[in-house]
Every structure is written in C-alpha cells, then in structure tokens.
Amino acid sequence: MNSWLSFTVVVSGVMGLAIVITIVLPGYTWPSSRLYTSKFGYGSMLRKLKRPFPVPATRATSRMLHHKALGEGLVRSEPVVVPIVPMGTIIKVYVEQGDHVTKGQLIAEVDPTKATIKVEAAKAALETAKAELERVKIGSAYVLTYERPKLDQIRMANAKKQGGLKRQLIDMNTPLIHKGYVAKSEMLLLQIELAKSELDQEEAAFNLSMSTEGVKESVTIAESAMREADLALQHRLTELKEYKVHSIADGLIERCLVHEGEYNQDPGKPAFLIASDSWFEGNFDQMAFDRVHVGDEAKVRLEAYPDQFLPGRVIWVNPFVNYDLGGPESTRPIRPMGTGAPEWPATFSARIKLDAPSSPVVPGMTGFCILQSQADVACLPREAVSAITAGKGIVYVIKGDGFVPREVTLGLVDGDWIQIRDGLGPSEDVILDGYQVLEPNDKIKVVPGPEGAG
C-alpha cells in the first residue's frame, strides 16, 4: 500500500512538473499570454528586479515576394462607327446585329446611278480639256488669234525683206534724181514706203515678243484646266467608291441603324456600330496601383464560364484613380477591411487582353480577374510590424539595450512576410516579438528567435 502511494505521488509530481515546464512556464514567460502581463507576471518581475526583457531580433532581408491583386469588371470593346457618306437610296445591307465582320468587308451599298453619271461627265470634261490644250499648242484656238508666234515671225521677216528692197530702190534712184531723170516726188514716195516698212517691222517684232510669251501662258492655262478636269474626275471616282460601304475594323456588329430602301439624306450619318478589339476591364483597389504594370500576366473568370480561367495580359493601366467600384458612383463613404474610419472607395482600372479564348467572349460579360506579380524586395517577418494602416507601420528598432519605435513604409504582403519600402536601414535590428508588453524605459536583451525568423 505504501509502495502504491509512493508511486502515485511520484507520478503526480512528474506530471505536475511537466505541466509547469510545458504549459505554465512558457505561458509565464511568453509576452502574448495574459499571465505574462498580470500583476505578478514575468514582465512585472523583470521590472521589479530591473532586469532586461529577453526579445528575439531580426533585420530586413531580401526575399522574392508574390502578390495577387483581385479586380472586378466586365468585357468592354472599342466602339467604331461606320457612316454612310453619300446621299441616296440604300439598295443593299449585307449584315445584321451580331454578325462578325472583318476590316474591308462590304456591308452595305447605296444606289450609284447619279454618281456614275457625274463620273462620265467628268471624263468628258477631261477629254475636252486635253483637246483644248492641243489646240493651244498648235495655235488654232479661235480665242488666241494674237498668240501665233510663227505667223508673227513670217510677218516680221516679210517686213524686213520689203524694207531692204525699198532701201536698195532709194539708193539706186538717188543718182538719177541729181541728173533729173527721176522726180523728187517719186523719191519722197519711196521714202514714205520705206518708213512704213520699218514701222511694219517694228510692229511685227513687238507682236512676236508678245505672242511668244503669251502662248507660254496660254499653254500653262490650258494645262491647268486639264489638270483641274483630271482632279474633278478623281473626285467623282472617289465619291463613287463611297457608294459601297465597307467595315473599317474587325469586330461584331453591335447596332445596325439603316435598312434597305431607306434614303440617306444626311451625309456622314452613322449606319453601323462595331464592337471592335474586346478586352476585360478590371477595377482594382488603389492600394495595388504601383503593383499593376503593362505586361503582367492575368487570369480572368467570367460569370458566363464559371469553370474556367481565361489567360491574358495587361495592355493598359489607367493613370487616374476614381471613386467607382465598377458600378454606380458611391454616394456615401464605406469602411473597408474593418478600419472603422470612414473612407471613400477609390479604384483604378486596367485592361486585360485575353489570349485567344476558346469560348465566345462578347462585350458586357461580367467577372473578375487575378493579377500575379513578384518582386525581390527588402522585407521583415509579418509579426515584427505593428499598427499597420494606409501603407504605414511601426517597428521597434534596437538601440543598445533599449529600443525606439519608428514608422516605416510598407509594400507587398506575402504570407508571413511584408515589404519594407522605406524607413529602415539594411543593418538595423528590430524586435521580432515582445514589443507588445514593453514600456518606453524598459531595457532589453537579444535572445535567439524562432527558427527561420529573419
């Protein structure tokens, strides 16, 4: 009986000691336990004995952190308006709402009868201008009777010849006048005719110079008239092409605003609306603004296809943050993530181009997307940072046997690690745990921390 009692006492003592070692003592010395912070706890004892608080330490290290950004949104597209330029009766419409079209595809026609007549008239006007140019060049145009250089050359040569002959005749008759064989009156008549010939010669020279320059200008005018007629023909031919309406982009016919038999009386009237170049536009919280970049990989899940993720890539990031969560504008503040402080929702959008989806994707489909990013950054264990709010946090920097609280700027959060963007040097040690119970004048000593910390 005494042996059994002794055995029971020993077992109870061992179990009690085990409980003290494994449960009571760790709780007594663990800063997060209520026993530690009690009136007779470990912390109070250390302060009474003026002993330093044992705390584990760590410092910022470089690690590859991964981050996911979730955004809600919908499939959007670029609206492309295809107008009908010419006035006339629409004789054929080849597409309807929902049809897929390619750039350059014929989608409608307008009656080209009047335009064809104008083209033929322009061709006739061009031929007339060409013929008129040739008449100007050969000098047979009726309106250009004074612009014939060759005729003026003939007249000037004839005037020179006549003047020379009359001068010879005067020279021959001059001796005869002194001898009385020729009357002086006849000599005067010869001199008058010579003066007239000289006048004809000067007039012919003047007409030649004027007609020579004038015919150049007339040719230039005729060439310009022909060029103008040619341009008028090209204009009419261009107008004729507009009577066939072609798609100006690839996409889906979102709206068809015209019908066969209608008369288009407004030049440039919108006829078709094409939804071109679709993408998923997601709205992300402003906290992810500096983590979303063009080229980032993304996964999109649409409500229409809940069982599959569609791969894509970011092609554009809106550089502005707005107060729109993907729906109507907010009319009252919200309290995100349980902060308790009234805040207005602030989001920004990003476009995600889907990689050749196997299922039909059309504008208006709703869903959400996930963007994955990674970066090699300086970071601390998550438990070393307190009072995290609005991208800021507090760390306790070790200074000798004391500590100083310091504000740091935070970045990515990946599981048990958080990025330190600013406020902490690479060689500065911070308290990993236990800062929760420290008071400003408490002394500390660094002890080994949990395996893997820092």
Q: Both 390 and 349 in a single domain?
A: no
Task: Please count the structural domains in the chain.
Answer: 3
According to DSSP, the β-strands at 444-447 and 53-59 are parallel
What is the pLDDT, as a whole number, of residue 396? 94
Q: Both 225 and 169 in a single domain?
A: yes
Q: What is the CATH number of the domain that holds 71?
A: 2.40.30.170
Residue 423 lies inside a defined structural domain of this protein:
yes
Q: Both 74 and 154 in a single domain?
A: no
User: CB under 8 Å to 346, separation ≥6 — which residues?
Assistant: 285, 286, 321, 322, 323
Domain boundary among 321, 345, 375: 375
According to DSSP, the β-strands at 251-256 and 100-101 are antiparallel
Residue 88 lies inside a defined structural domain of this protein:
no
- The shares of helix, strand and coil residues in the chain, as percent rounded to the nearest 5, are 35, 35, 30
Residue 144 lies inside a defined structural domain of this protein:
yes
- Which DSSP letter does residue 22 get? I
Domain boundary among 348, 375, 402: 375
Q: Both 366 and 390 in a single domain?
A: no
For residue 27, what are its two tokens?
A: 């709780």
Q: What single-letter amino acid sits at 124?
A: A
Q: What is the CATH number of the domain that holds 230?
A: 1.10.287
Question: Nearest-CA neighbor of 440 among 406, 407, 402?
Answer: 402
Residues in the chain: 454
The pLDDT profile of the chain, 454 residues, written as one tens digit per residue, is 556 555 555 555 555 554 444 444 455 555 555 555 555 556 667 777 788 888 899 999 999 988 888 899 999 999 999 999 999 999 999 999 989 999 999 999 999 999 999 999 999 998 988 887 777 676 654 444 455 555 556 666 666 666 666 666 666 666 666 665 656 666 666 666 666 766 666 666 555 555 555 556 667 777 888 899 899 999 999 999 999 999 999 999 999 999 999 999 999 999 999 998 889 999 988 878 888 889 989 999 999 999 899 999 999 999 888 765 444 444 454 444 444 444 446 788 999 999 988 788 888 899 999 988 778 899 999 999 998 877 789 999 999 999 999 999 988 888 889 999 999 998 999 999 888 888 888 899 898 865 545 4
Residue 270 lies inside a defined structural domain of this protein:
no
Q: At what angle do helices 184-241 and 149-179 cross, to 10 degrees?
A: 180
Angle at 121 between CA 118 and CA 125, to 5 degrees: 135
Q: What is the CATH number of the domain that holds 411?
A: 2.40.420.20
Sign of the alpha-carbon torsion through 147, 150, 155, 157: positive
Nearest-angstrom CA–CA distance, 175 and 181: 9
CA atoms within 13 A on the CB side of 239: 21
Residue 117 lies inside a defined structural domain of this protein:
yes
Q: Both 359 and 400 in a single domain?
A: no
Residue 32 lies inside a defined structural domain of this protein:
no
Q: Both 223 and 116 in a single domain?
A: yes
Q: Both 391 and 418 in a single domain?
A: yes
Domain boundary among 317, 340, 375: 375
Q: Both 318 and 348 in a single domain?
A: yes
Residue 235 lies inside a defined structural domain of this protein:
yes
Residue 293: Cβ within 10 Å count: 11
For residue 110, what are its two tokens?
A: 């307008």
* Domain of 319, in residue numbers: 67-79+278-375
Q: Both 130 and 235 in a single domain?
A: yes
Q: Both 371 and 403 in a single domain?
A: no
Q: Both 226 and 305 in a single domain?
A: no
Q: What single-letter amino acid sits at 33?
A: S
Residue 267 lies inside a defined structural domain of this protein:
no
User: CB under 8 Å to 182, separation ≥6 — which residues?
Assistant: 173, 176
Q: Both 389 and 371 in a single domain?
A: no
Nearest-angstrom CA–CA distance, 17 and 346: 57
